[in-house]
Chains A and B, each alone.
Chain A
Amino acid sequence: MSAPEAPWHPRRQHRIRRSRPRRRLLAVLGIAFGFVLSGMLGAGLYFSPAIAAAFQDFGRTIHHQPTSARSPAARGVPAAAPASIATSTSAFTVLLLGSDNDAKFPSDAVLTQSMILARVDPVTKQVTMVSIPRDLNVPLSTGGTDKIDKAYQYGGVDAAINTVEQDFNVHVDHYAWIGLLGLVRLIDQVGGVDVVASNPVLDDFYPKDLTGSNPYDFERVAVLPGPQHMGGLQALQYVRSRHDDLRSDFGRSVRQQQVLLALRAKAKLLGVADLPDIANAMSSQFTTDLSLAQVGELLPIAGNVSLSNVQQVVLLPPYTSSQTIGDQEVLVPNWSLILPLVHKYFPQR
């Protein structure tokens, strides 16, 4: 004997009718969510090198030294409030560092072959670049007085930034560090740079540390003069050689600024979709405190800056003078000339 059937309740019937559209809606939402998820997965896979770099190389923290620790050179100069964190509209100061990350030194204790202090104003689209000579003899933030290129060797990025801040009495908002191999790969990645080589750059004692097995070995280089398209290695030879230049490090600074501006010209042609290739190329050869998004914001700004709006400063004599201190040749800064010049373009901290 079967149990009597439950009577069909009108309220239950109504509930079923009402739940059908809800199910359909849920199904449609589920399918749409699947599309979003698969799209994100496709995009995520594409951007995976950039995402990895974003965690590994970007967004590093700068540990600024307190202003009271300023050097004797900067004391007596009234200090202004620190500049605000760079946004897409406010001017900011960035310290560009280039290192010979060859096998001669531990990877975290290399010299900075290039230090360029740059002021970028996104509104007026003006850029000022001051090349700081690597042999400049200054008080280091890590203590003592030595060539400024040793600050990074003694205390990494923070020491390099703090040394520049304390000696030049400026606030550094951001930094970007690149190794030699990173520069080579970056230039190759953007398809080379177009440069007018200002003179024949000849060197019989150019370090063979990127291409050979012995980092103390030498090779000959000859970069011929005139307009040309340079690949990464050739551009590095052009900006790195200094043995046969009457102006020594100053000549090299001028050439470094030329290649930097040539890279800027290529930057305006790049888009977000190029980030994975660039991140791949510069893996472990580049660090910055800027986030990947901020770098993405800066690309069009770099592209909008015309060459006529770029002020290039090299601290030639009388801003500096050569001297032998101990057993090494150094450049002695003339702070009474350098600080007014620098503060003409860079706000004091």
Chain B
Amino acid sequence: MRRLAFIVALLVVWGAFGFGINRFLDSRRSNVAQARAVVAPPREKSAFSLPGTIWVSQAGHLYRLHGGQFTDMSLPSATGAWIQPSVAADGRLLVVARSDAYSDIYLVDGATGTLVKQLTNNATRSGHVELNAWSYWPHPTVDGAGVMFDYDGPKVGTFEVHLAVWSGPIGGTLESTRWTTPATYTGGDVSPVPLPGGGVVYASYALDDASQQIVSRIATVANPGASPVYLTAAADDCNAPAVSPDGSQLAVICTSDTQTARLEVIPLVSGVPGQARVLVANCLCASPQWSPDGVSLLYLAPADVSGHFQLWWLASVKATATVAPKLLTTNLDLDATSAPAWAPS
């Protein structure tokens, strides 16, 4: 009897040992594989509180960050993935709803998340998927009455799809005025931001003859159809321009056609670029946004090996003081191609 009990106990111990080895190996899986599941919706408080209200996009949801607290705007997911918010003159938001084949711009109440108006209608009824259109990167015009944005229409029946800068009145047809003529088969002119003094600044993609690569230069045009003036060199490969509220500074992301980026600030005096300053180097920085007072900058970048983008804050961009960026969020997976919007209240 004692021998039988001993054998049963031994079998149990052996089984437990084998199970333990199995679980030990399971625990040795790398964080990178486990990180797939660790993407919490931004419900928790941010690391510290910034003044005003910030809107960010994650996994197609738009979130409002106020007083250090994230709130899901609960925009209808059936409409599409909600990205690229910007604050309109009356405090409401311009937001893109992206579906599989098209995207549209909506006017949204930034406090309640109520849809006020659909400003574009890019879905085709023809059944030909290529006749749908994209609209991206909406920004209010300086007078507040219109929207400046990217649009890939009208269709011409080729393989070519390129984004150009357009503008139109909020109360009328948004695709009224075409501002730029992009280089063909490059992706086009993207991320338009109206300049306070008039005109628009944007990222213009074109083939660089020297490197035979498609690179981006920050360009500006004063009027629709005017010849662009380039503010950065092709070798710098800069995109994602953000203009400070007074129009005196330009924040950009430059990659020099590499797989790392740097956040730079370029002073603008009467539209003429000064010496660029690197604020953050060797990062995967994306989509900068100025604070409403033009003193600090928000941008997106990963904080760990997961590669998920978080909010970072540079308290001051003054040339006299070097400020280390502060991590505002953790464990999020923010849309890096969707710059945060920041309102003063």
- A196-B260 CB under 8 A given contacts A205-B130, A245-B214, A271-B30: yes
Q: Is B33 an interface position by the 8 A CB rule? A: yes
Q: Is B64 an interface position by the 8 A CB rule? A: no
Which one of A198, A229, A272 lies within 8 Å of B257 (CB-CB)? A198
- Residues of chain A lying within 8 A (CB to CB) of residue B10: 31, 34
- Residue-wise, chain B 154-168 has the 8 Å CB interface mask toward A (1 for contact) of 000001111100000
Closest 5 CB pairs of A and B: A200-B187, A38-B18, A42-B18, A42-B21, A204-B130
User: Min CB distance, A226 to chain B, in Å?
Assistant: 5
- Residues of chain B lying within 8 A (CB to CB) of residue A183: none
User: Is there contact, CB below 8 Å, between A198 and B22?
Assistant: no
- A38-B17 CB under 8 A given contacts A193-B307, A218-B130: yes
User: Min CB distance, A115 to chain B, in Å?
Assistant: 20
- Residues of chain B lying within 8 A (CB to CB) of residue A102: none
User: Is there contact, CB below 8 Å, between A226 and B253?
Assistant: yes
Q: Is B74 an interface position by the 8 A CB rule? A: no
Q: How far is the CA of A262 from the CA of B129 in the complex (A)?
A: 31
Segment from A75-83, A153-161, A184-192 that makes contact with B: A184-192
User: Is there contact, CB below 8 Å, between A307 and B259?
Assistant: yes
Residue of B nearest to A262 (CB): B259
- Residues of chain B lying within 8 A (CB to CB) of residue A215: none
Q: Is B205 an interface position by the 8 A CB rule? A: yes
Segment from A15-23, A143-151, A246-254, A339-347 that makes contact with B: A246-254
Which one of B20, B185, B259 lies within 8 Å of A246 (CB-CB)? B185
Which one of A196, A205, A269 lies within 8 Å of B255 (CB-CB)? A196
- Residues of chain A lying within 8 A (CB to CB) of residue B190: 200, 224-225
Q: How far is the CA of A204 from the CA of B124 in the complex (A)?
A: 13
For this complex, into which size category does the number of interface residues on chain B fall? Answer: 35 or more
Q: Is A108 an interface position by the 8 A CB rule? A: no
- Residues of chain A lying within 8 A (CB to CB) of residue B213: 198, 254
User: Is there contact, CB below 8 Å, between A270 and B25?
Assistant: no
Q: Is A329 an interface position by the 8 A CB rule? A: no
15 A-B residue pairs with Cβ-Cβ distance under 8 Å, sorted by A, are A31-B10, A43-B21, A198-B214, A198-B255, A200-B163, A203-B161, A220-B100, A220-B132, A226-B287, A227-B284, A227-B285, A228-B309, A229-B309, A273-B30, A316-B212
For this complex, into which size category does the number of interface residues on chain A fall? Answer: 35 or more
Q: Is B229 an interface position by the 8 A CB rule? A: no
Q: How far is the CA of A34 from the CA of B162 in the complex (A)?
A: 67
- Residues of chain A lying within 8 A (CB to CB) of residue B258: 196, 307
Which one of A41, A204, A250 lies within 8 Å of B161 (CB-CB)? A204
Q: How far is the CA of A193 from the CA of B103 in the complex (A)?
A: 25
User: Min CB distance, A274 to chain B, in Å?
Assistant: 5
User: Is there contact, CB below 8 Å, between A189 and B259?
Assistant: no
Residue ranges of A at the interface with B (Cβ–Cβ < 8 Å): 31, 34-35, 37-39, 41-43, 45-47, 188-196, 198-205, 218-220, 222, 224-229, 243-247, 250-251, 254, 258, 261-262, 266, 269-274, 277, 307, 316
User: Min CB distance, A341 to chain B, in Å?
Assistant: 15
Q: Is B149 an interface position by the 8 A CB rule? A: no
User: Min CB distance, A90 to chain B, in Å?
Assistant: 28
Residue ranges of B at the interface with A (Cβ–Cβ < 8 Å): 10, 14-15, 17-22, 25-26, 28-36, 100-103, 129-130, 132, 134, 136, 152, 159-163, 183-188, 190, 203, 205, 207, 212-216, 237, 239-240, 253, 255, 257-261, 284-287, 301-302, 305-309, 333, 335-337
Q: How far is the CA of A69 from the CA of B94 in the complex (A)?
A: 65
User: Is there contact, CB below 8 Å, between B302 and A229?
Assistant: yes
User: Is there contact, CB below 8 Å, between A42 and B17?
Assistant: yes
Residue of B nearest to A45 (CB): B22
Output the residue of B19, B136, B188, B239 with the most chain A CB within 10 A: B239
User: Is there contact, CB below 8 Å, between B160 and A244?
Assistant: yes
User: Is there contact, CB below 8 Å, between B287 and A38?
Assistant: no
Q: How far is the CA of A250 from the CA of B100 in the complex (A)?
A: 26
User: Is there contact, CB below 8 Å, between B336 and A229?
Assistant: yes
Q: How far is the CA of A244 from the CA of B336 in the complex (A)?
A: 23
User: Is there contact, CB below 8 Å, between A196 and B187?
Assistant: no
Which one of B25, B134, B308 lies within 8 Å of A46 (CB-CB)? B25
- Residues of chain B lying within 8 A (CB to CB) of residue A35: 14, 17
- Residues of chain B lying within 8 A (CB to CB) of residue A225: 187, 190, 203, 205, 216, 239, 337
- Residues of chain B lying within 8 A (CB to CB) of residue A41: 18
- Residues of chain B lying within 8 A (CB to CB) of residue A198: 213-215, 237, 255, 257
- Residues of chain B lying within 8 A (CB to CB) of residue A194: 284, 302, 307
User: Min CB distance, B10 to chain A, in Å?
Assistant: 7
- A219-B101 CB under 8 A given contacts A203-B161, A204-B159, A316-B212: yes
User: Is there contact, CB below 8 Å, between B32 and A191?
Assistant: yes
- Residues of chain B lying within 8 A (CB to CB) of residue A219: 100-101, 129
- A196-B284 CB under 8 A given contacts A220-B100, A273-B26: yes
Q: How far is the CA of A194 from the CA of B214 in the complex (A)?
A: 19
Q: How far is the CA of A346 from the CA of B102 in the complex (A)?
A: 46
- Residues of chain B lying within 8 A (CB to CB) of residue A202: 134, 152, 161-163, 187-188
User: Min CB distance, A9 to chain B, in Å?
Assistant: 29
